[in-house]
Amino acid sequence: MRLSVNDSAGRRTIGAALAALVLGGGAVGCTKGAAEESPALTPAAAVAKAAKKTEDITSLHYRMTGQVPPEGKVSGEAAMRMKPLAMSMKMTAEERAADGPVEIRLVGKAMYVGGGAQAAKDMGGKHWIKFDMSALGADKELSADQLGGGAADKNPAAESSFLTGSKDVKKVGTETVDGVRTTHYKGKVTLDEFRKSLKSEDKATREKREKSLDQYTKLGVDALTMDMWIDGDDHTKQFRMRGTADKGPLDMTITFLDFNEPVTVTAPPAKDTVDLAEMMKGAQQG
């Protein structure tokens, strides 16, 4: 069987995978506590405290919805474990809704992308494409420092920390998100302002947060309007970021369902999987 990355379903599957990885990031948060802001905390201090709490998470489960260029409107849900790195994500793009959701799994040194029944028609009946991530320099198990970008590239708490670089953080009010009472904050920040704000952070934190800016720089985003909902335990329950990219508007909302809970991800059956290297070889021979 000869396979080609020029097959329409193959292109859609790979494209959706990359789009999903761009979407990935977020803060951490889910709690049973009510939002009770300390009178001593200014809005900026409350946001900074929540951002700091995201540094030590070990796993999280979140939901995403919104618009990201060039994919348009998207929605999805993901679970992620930091060490050893593992992730399971399902994402649907509105313009490809008829094809069903795309599923991504990170297991060991491999990323698997499931394109559904439509993709299987052009892949000899197989539903999954396997990407060997060792080609990107992962010599052992994948880690957040070895991958090249997107959701699997970092602790997804990084994006929530962007609001700490804003000079105009304001408290909007108290709101309930998914049954959790939260305090809503809002502000605007340029990527340059955020970079400058990192000078006071320790080296490890600074490097993580600077790295998280890369995907937005590549999209052509210069500034973000951010909303952040913080619960009574100073965790970020939800955040929204809006900006203008080179290819259209960016508007994503991330809602956190739980964190530091067990996350188990398994590889799809080998008999239902096509290796990307084989697809590339088929394209070259074709």
Give a yes or no: residue 254 inside a domain. yes
Backbone Cα Rg of the chain: 19
What is the model's pLDDT at position 275? Answer: 86
What is the model's pLDDT at position 214? Answer: 77
Strand order in the sheet with 180-190: 170-177, 180-190, 223-231, 236-245, 248-259, 59-68, 72-81, 86-93, 102-107, 110-114, 128-132, 273-275
> How large is the average pLDDT for residues 190-213?
79
Give a yes or no: residue 113 inside a domain. yes
Question: Could you read off the pLDDT of 9-21 as tens digits, one per residue?
Answer: 455 555 555 454 4
Cβ burial 245-264 (10 Å sphere, 16+ → b, else e):
beeeebbbbbbbbebeeebe
Residue 137 has pLDDT above 90, yes or no: no
Give a yes or no: residue 41 inside a domain. yes
- pLDDT-derived band at 30 (thresholds 50, 70, 90) equals very low
Calculate the alpha carbon distances from 237 to 45, 82, 86, 157 in Å.
17, 19, 22, 11
CA atoms of 16 and 184, how far apart (whole Å): 32
> How large is the average pLDDT for residues 50-71?
86
CA atoms of 43 and 64, how far apart (whole Å): 25
Give a yes or no: residue 23 inside a domain. yes
Give a yes or no: residue 3 inside a domain. no
Residue 209 has pLDDT above 70, yes or no: yes
Write out the H or E segment, with its range, that includes residue 277. helix 276-285
Average pLDDT, the chain: 77
pTM for this entry: 0.77
Give a yes or no: residue 118 inside a domain. yes
Cβ atoms of 55 and 205 within 8 Å: the answer is yes
Residue 276 has pLDDT above 50, yes or no: yes
Residue 238 has pLDDT above 90, yes or no: yes
Give a yes or no: residue 1 inside a domain. no
Residue 64 has pLDDT above 70, yes or no: yes
Domain CATH for 208: 2.50.20.20
Choice among 26-40, 117-131, 168-182, 233-247 with the minimum mean pLDDT: 26-40
- pLDDT-derived band at 201 (thresholds 50, 70, 90) equals confident
Question: Could you read off the pLDDT of 154-180 as tens digits, one per residue?
Answer: 455 667 788 888 889 999 999 999 999
Residue 247 has pLDDT above 80, yes or no: yes
What is the model's pLDDT at position 230? Answer: 95
Name the nearest CA neighbour of 255 among 228, 225, 233, 221.
228
What is the model's pLDDT at position 121? Answer: 79
Name the nearest CA neighbour of 119 among 101, 94, 92.
101
Choice among 12-26, 58-72, 130-144, 263-277 with the minimum mean pLDDT: 12-26
Residue 228 vs residue 36, higher pLDDT: 228
Residue 282 has pLDDT above 90, yes or no: no
Residue 270 has pLDDT above 80, yes or no: yes
What is the model's pLDDT at position 281? Answer: 65
What is the model's pLDDT at position 138? Answer: 45
> How large is the average pLDDT for residues 223-244?
93
CA atoms of 151 and 154, how far apart (whole Å): 7
CA atoms of 24 and 150, how far apart (whole Å): 6
> How large is the average pLDDT for residues 107-129?
83
Give a yes or no: residue 96 inside a domain. yes
- pLDDT-derived band at 98 (thresholds 50, 70, 90) equals low
Residues paired with residue 59 on neighbouring β-strands, in sequence order? 81
Domain that holds residue 192: 8-285
Q: How many domains would you assign to the chain?
A: 1
